[in-house]
Amino acid sequence: MGGDHAPEATVAGALDARDELGVQVVLVGREPELAEVLRRMDRGSLPIRHAPEVVGMEEEGAFAVREREGSSLMVAAGMVKGGEAQAMVSAGNTGAAMAAALLTWGRMKGAKRPAVGVILPPLDSPTLLLDAGANADCRPEHLRQFAILGSAYVRARFGMEHPRVGLLNIGSEESKGNQLAREAFQLLRGERRLNFVGNVEGRDILTGRVDVVVTDGFTGNVTLKVVEGVASAITRMLLGSLSSLSEQEMRPVLPALLELRREMDYRAIGGAPLLGVKGVCIIAHGSSDSTAIKNSIRAAAEAVAAGLLEKTEEMLAAGEEGG
């Protein structure tokens, strides 16, 4: 029920996922509202699990879900735990989605802090940035675990056998950065489960140089918002520059512009995985339309099919076995 355009965008995206991807989707929320949206869309039915309560976008997430066991997030998380569903997708309150997953599923063994990962463009060479906001304050050990969680995700989702991991820093040299970055560098360099390639700067994260970028949640969230803002600004500037061209002058450059738009479109990427919990949870952007919802469901289905949880648990356990 969450999201700026819910429930219409959520229902339409679920129908698209059913029709185009063959995914079985259960809608969780206030049944009368969802049933009415389905009726108006006239595209057939979807199963509905009634959840009488909703957590608002501006509410404090962890407190809200504890107080509302009947919220759509808690009901959906319970369905996953009970085996009625294999994944949960939400475009609602991010903190509430995280809290519902943690309270209902718990953390994976060896994962001290769950992390939110975000796929950055270009789509033909995506990079996973984590943490993107779940943990504002981190210790070096947390960044090491984020790198393991991120590596397991891109291996499962994108089939990368040895994903390259970079530590976001203010320079490429080992001595650069604050105490957190310097200590994390040493841990990452000594971690045999990772293909650590060193520090990366902000200008490197969209170049395809690395497959996983690790940082604390405060820095990661600021970085994500800057990337989103730059993409929006570039689009506006391009449209402004091209507005004076005639249709004939536009024709040669239109394919390139459409390709650029496709590469920068967050809707095509799908949502952000919550990693380190004992269940598959995809957190879609709050402004998601039906396309973004559909592709978030796609991301969840692909993670389940690829055995994300099993591969992550194996990677975490390998460190314990190796001491």
Those residues with Cβ within 8 angstroms of residue 261's Cβ, 6 or more apart along the chain or in another chain: 235
pLDDT score of 124 more than 80? no
Task: Provide the 3-class DSSP secondary structure of residue 265.
Answer: coil
pTM: predicted TM-score of the whole model, two decimal places: 0.90
- At 243 the pLDDT is 80
pLDDT tens digits, residue range 185-201?
999 999 999 999 999 99
Per residue in 240-295, pLDDT tens?
A: 888 888 888 888 888 887 777 777 777 788 899 999 999 999 999 888 899 999 99
Predicted confidence at residue 117, as pLDDT, reads 96
pLDDT, residue 103, reads 94
Spatial CA neighbour of 120 closest among 215, 257, 32: 215
- The b-or-e profile of 242-279 (16+ CB within 10 A means b, else e) is eeeeeeeeeeeeeeeeeebeeebbbbbbbbbbbbbbbb
Q: Hey, what's the torsion of the CAs at 271, 275, 278, 284, to 10 degrees?
A: -20
Domains and CATH numbers, the chain: 1-111+276-304 (3.40.718.10), 116-267 (3.40.718.10)
Q: Is 235 helix (H, G, I), strand (E, B) or coil?
A: helix
Say which amino acid occupies 13: G
Confidence of residue 1 (pLDDT cuts 50, 70, 90): low
- Say how far apart CA 306 and CA 25 lie, in whole Å: 18
Q: What is the pLDDT of residues 137-188, one digit of tens each?
A: 999 999 999 999 999 999 998 999 899 999 999 999 999 999 999 999 999 9
pLDDT in tens, 88-123: 999 988 889 999 999 999 999 989 999 999 999 876
